[in-house]
Structure 1
């Protein structure tokens, strides 16, 4: 999973960002479940997913604060 640039994320629509955020939250849930049952082989996926989620949440928050101002 290649990490997109912040500029690429800013070009996404609000609906796309929300959809990706929900998908990543679900993926993190599944990864935690796999880790608990010792089925997870690639533990680095946690970090990748958390970083991408943080980037998306940052872009979403920027948009919310810019519309509020």
Structure 2
């Protein structure tokens, strides 16, 4: 997911996407622990997407206060 895509989302959509990504990250950790994980690069993608969503949410919140 690109930053421009995240900026286009509403606050509720960002919360939903963040919850979905965290759930996927949790499932990947279980797959890794049981030896069933195939795409290890997906960890980095999810981690960066979560950070991107949190950053844009913080920017929007700071912009609303100013």
What TM-score do you get using the length of structure 2 for normalisation? 0.91
Gaps of 5+ in 2: none
- The structure where helix makes up a greater share of residues is 2
Aligned to 2:26: 29
Q: How does 1:31-46 map to 2 (within 5 A)?
A: 31-46=28-43
Q: How many residues align?
A: 66
Gaps of 5+ in 1: none
Which ranges of 4 or more aligned residues in structure 1 deviate by more than 4 Å?
none
Deviation at 1:13, TM superposition (A): 0.6
Q: How does 1:1-69 map to 2 (within 5 A)?
A: 3-4=1-2, 6-69=3-66
What TM-score do you get using the length of structure 1 for normalisation? 0.87
**Structure 2 residue matching 1:12: 3-state secondary structure:** coil
